[in-house]
Structure 1
Amino acid sequence: MLCYDGKLSFFCFIVAAVIAILPEVLLRLELNVLQVAVRAVFLGYVFGIGIIIFLIAPSSWQMFGVYITILATFHYTEFLSIAWINPSTLSIDSFILNHSIAYGVAACSSWIEFVVERQYFPVMKESSFISYFGLILCICGEILRKLAMFTAKHNFNHIVQSEKMDDHELITYGIYGFCRHPSYVGWFYWSLGTQLILQNPVCFLAYTMASWKFFHDRILIEEITLLNFFGQDYVEYQKKVSTGLPFISGYKLNL
C-alpha cells in the first residue's frame, strides 16, 4: 500500500502528464468535437455556479443562481435530447446558444434589469411566491417541451423543414393530442418563468410580447409547411386540436 507521499507523487505525475499531452490531443480532435466539448463544459460550469450562488450568496442573489441553473439545464438538454432522438440532425446549433441576436439581447436585458433593480431595491429580488412560481413554470415548460421532442422523435427538428423526408410522419398522439405545438408551448411558458424567477417586471412584459410574436409567426410558417406535407390529414388535425398558445390559431386554409 502506497504511503501518503507516494500517493501524492503519483497524482502529481499523472496530472502533469495529462497537462502536457492535452494540447496535442485537442489539436488532433475534429473541430466539431472540440466545440461540443467546450459548450458542454461551459454549460456544466454555469450549472454548478448557479447552485453555489443559490446556496451561499446573499438572499437577493439566490434566485439569480436558480435562474442560471435553469438556463444551463435548458440549453444542455436541448442538445442531449436531439443526440438521443434524432442524431442525424445533431450539430453545434442544437445547443441553441446562438439561437438569434434577439434571443441574446433578451437574455442580456434580463440580466441588466436584475442587477439594476437589485442595486436600488434589493428586497425586491429576494425569493418569494412569485420567484418559486416562476421556477415551477420553468420546470413544467421544460418537461412539456422535452416530452414533445421525445414523442415526435426523428420528426422533431430545431429548423422548420422545407422538404418532406421519406420517414416524416404526422404526430397526433400523446402530448400532440392535447396541443399541436407542445414544444413551442413549453418554451413559451419556460421563457416567462425565467423572468418570474428573477422578478423582472419590465422583461416579463417584454418577453410575453416578444415570445408571443415569435411563436405566432413561427407557427404560421410551420403550419403552411405541414399543410403542404400532409394536406387534408393536417386540416382534420387542426379542427380537433388547438395550437396550445393563447390567441394563436395557426394557419387555416379557406376551404
Structure 2
Amino acid sequence: MARLSATSSAVDTNGHIKEPTTVPLPAEGDVPLSKPFSHDDTEISTSNNDDDEETPLPSSDSYPVSHDPTLLPGGSRDLCFIGLQAFVLGSLFALSICATITLVFVQPSRWWRLPAFAICFSVFHFMEFWTTAAYNTPSCRASSFLLFNNGKAYAIANLLAALEITISAFFPEYQAIGVYPTTIAVGLTLVIIGQFVRSMAMVQASTNFNHIVQSERKDTHVLVTKGFYSVFRHPSYFGFFWWSIGTQLLVGNKVCLVGFAVVLWKFFNRRIAIEEKHLVMFFGDDYENYRKRTGTLMPFIG
C-alpha cells in the first residue's frame, strides 16, 4: 500500500510554522486513499471539523513535468520543432485542398496538379509522425515527420516532380499526352491504397517498426505476421512504392513516373535483400517459413 504522510496542524507546540509536508502521488496500481495515513498506519484526522470530509489527492496534471532535455529546442524530441512542422504541413494541406477544389471545379485550370501533389505530400509526412507517435511512442522523434531526414535523393525526387508539373503546365499539348480520366483515377486510387497500407502497416507493426534497417535484435522485437503482414511481406514498402508511382500518375508526370519506378524498384530490391538477411538472423526458420508463403506485391521483388 502506498503511504502518505500528513499532520493535523500547520503549527508546532512552540508556535513555529512547520515546513509543508510533501504528499507523493500513489504508485500506479495502488488504491487511492481518501485520507492520509502515518507510517504506523494510524489514521490521522486532517480536519478540525467533526464531520470528516474526504480530501482528494492532487492530480498528476498539477505536478511539474520532470526535466527532459530532449524536449527542449535542439533536442531529439524538440516540442517547438514538432509544433512548427505540424503547423507547416497543416497549412500546406489546407491551402492545397482549397486551391485544388478551386482549380478543378470553380475555375478549371491545368495548374490543379501542383496543389494536388502538395496534398499527397503533406498527408504522407503527417501520417509518418502521427502513426509513430500513436503506436510506436518510444521511437517518436521530431524527425519522425521524415521531412528533412529521408535522404537527398528523396528531396531531389520531389523537387523534380514539382518542377515537371510546373514546366508541363506551359506546354499543354505535351502535358496531355498519355493523360486521361482513367489514368488520373488509377493514380488517385494508388495514392489512397498506398497511403492506407503503409500507415496500417506501421500501426500493426507498432514498436517493431523502424525507419532504419536494424542490424541487431532487441529484446522487444517480435516477428509480426498478422494483419497486412499475413498477406505479404514489407507492406510499408509496398505502400510507399505504389503511393509514389500513384502521385506521378495522378498529376500526369511522364519523366518522373518512369524515374520514380526505376529508382524505387532498385532501392527496395536492395533494401529488402539486406533487411531480410538480418531478419533470418533474428528469427531463423520462423522467418524462412514466413518468407516462403508470402510475397512483396512489388514487381520482380521477392
Q: Which runs of 5+ in 1 are unaligned?
A: 1-28, 250-255
Q: How far off is 1:63 after superposition?
A: 2.8
Q: Which runs of 5+ in 2 are unaligned?
A: 1-70
Residue 104 of structure 1 corresponds to which residue in structure 2? 155
**Contact 2:114–2:166, Cα closer than 8 Å, also in 1:** no
The reply to whether residue 78 of structure 1 matches residue 128 of structure 2 is yes
Q: Which amino acid aligns with 1:108?
A: L
Q: How far off is 1:129 after superposition?
A: 2.6
The reply to whether residue 117 of structure 1 matches residue 168 of structure 2 is yes
Residue 272 of structure 2 corresponds to which residue in structure 1? 219
Deviations 1:22-56 (A, max 9, x none): xxxxxxx7211111111111100110111121122
Larger radius of gyration: 2
1:196 aligns with one of 231, 249, 253: 249
TM-score by length of 2: 0.70
2:79 aligns with one of 29, 33, 37: 33
**Contact 2:168–2:174, Cα closer than 8 Å, also in 1:** no
Structure 2 Cα separation of the partners of residues 121 and 50 of structure 1? 22
Residue 55 of structure 2 corresponds to which residue in structure 1? none
Structure 2 Cα separation of the partners of residues 67 and 203 of structure 1? 13
The reply to whether residue 45 of structure 1 matches residue 91 of structure 2 is yes
Q: How far off is 1:179 after superposition?
A: 0.6
Structure 2 Cα separation of the partners of residues 122 and 114 of structure 1? 13
TM-score by length of 1: 0.82
**Contact 1:53–1:61, Cα closer than 8 Å, also in 2:** no
Residue 56 of structure 2 corresponds to which residue in structure 1? none
Segments of 4+ in structure 1 off by > 6 A? none
More helix by share: 1
Structure 1 Cα separation of the partners of residues 261 and 250 of structure 2? 14
Structure 1 Cα separation of the partners of residues 214 and 93 of structure 2? 32
Structure 2 Cα separation of the partners of residues 189 and 124 of structure 1? 22
Q: Which amino acid aligns with 2:91?
A: Y
The count of aligned residue pairs is: 221
**Contact 2:113–2:165, Cα closer than 8 Å, also in 1:** no
- 1:139-158 aligned at under 5 Å gives the runs 139-158=192-211
Q: Which amino acid aligns with 2:98?
A: I
Q: How far off is 1:85 after superposition?
A: 0.8
1:162 aligns with one of 215, 233, 255: 215
Give the secondary-structure state (helix, strand or coil) at the position aligned to 1:39.
Answer: helix
Percent of pairs identical after alignment?
38
Structure 2 Cα separation of the partners of residues 212 and 123 of structure 1? 26
